[in-house]
Amino acid sequence: AEVLLASRRRAAKRLAAQASKELRTLAMPNGRLSIELAEMDPQQPNARGIGGLAFGFSANEGEPLAPLGKVASGGELSRVMLALEVVLAATEQGLTMVFDEVDAGVGGKAAVEIGRRLAALAQRHQVIVVTHLPQVAAFADTHLTVGKQTGKGSVTSTLTALSREERIAELARMLAGLGDSDTGRAHAEELLEAADSDKVAQSGAHASR
């Protein structure tokens, strides 16, 4: 158990450093994550070994690390989770990864960064994302909408793959319910084109590696 604890401490240090580096790509330039294993009573081992696990977090420069569950906002927790998932999947290939509202509590530039990172992850894995944010949806290779139809005493779920024109209308609706306006469509098209250009650049960088 003591040998295992020492090994886990080394692994935790590496994982925390890699996840902290990943946070910087998710609009958290000063984000830091720590993973500590404090030795418990070696005479009382359990299924988790003899090391108690604690996650520490700091979002701002000069701010001390504090328990993750007490100081991180919903948006920060979402990005910490994504950072850990990205690091842990880095040595794998061809996984299917499902993210259900990993962008909860996030908006603006942070949402764009999450969309960009998910697109990069999709270079090596199949990534399925449930999102309500247009900044994230714009980075999808395939954009599906989920709907429902109410019939005689029953409700049927629907799943529809969108064409490019339909994507523009849907992104405009997601932006502010502006699907039928020229302003909304122009904004949505600009968002989609920017995401497409970013993905092309990512694909080229991935191919060169």
Nearest CA-CA partner of 187 in 2, 179, 17:
179
**Are residues 170 and 145 in contact, defined by beta-carbon separation less than 8 angstroms?**
yes
What does the pLDDT average to over 26-40?
Answer: 88
Instruction: Say if residue 203's pLDDT is above 80.
Output: no
Average pLDDT, the chain: 88
Name the more confident of 145 and 39.
145
**Are residues 129 and 101 in contact, defined by beta-carbon separation less than 8 angstroms?**
no
> pTM higher than 0.85, yes or no?
no
Name the more confident of 167 and 74.
167
What's the pLDDT at 208? 61
What's the pLDDT at 105? 79
Least confident of 18-27, 88-97, 129-138: 88-97
Q: Which residues contact 157 (CB under 8 A, 6 or more apart)?
A: 146, 147, 148
What's the pLDDT at 205? 66
Query: Between β-strands 51-58 and 126-130, what pairing exists: parallel, antiparallel or unpaired?
Result: unpaired
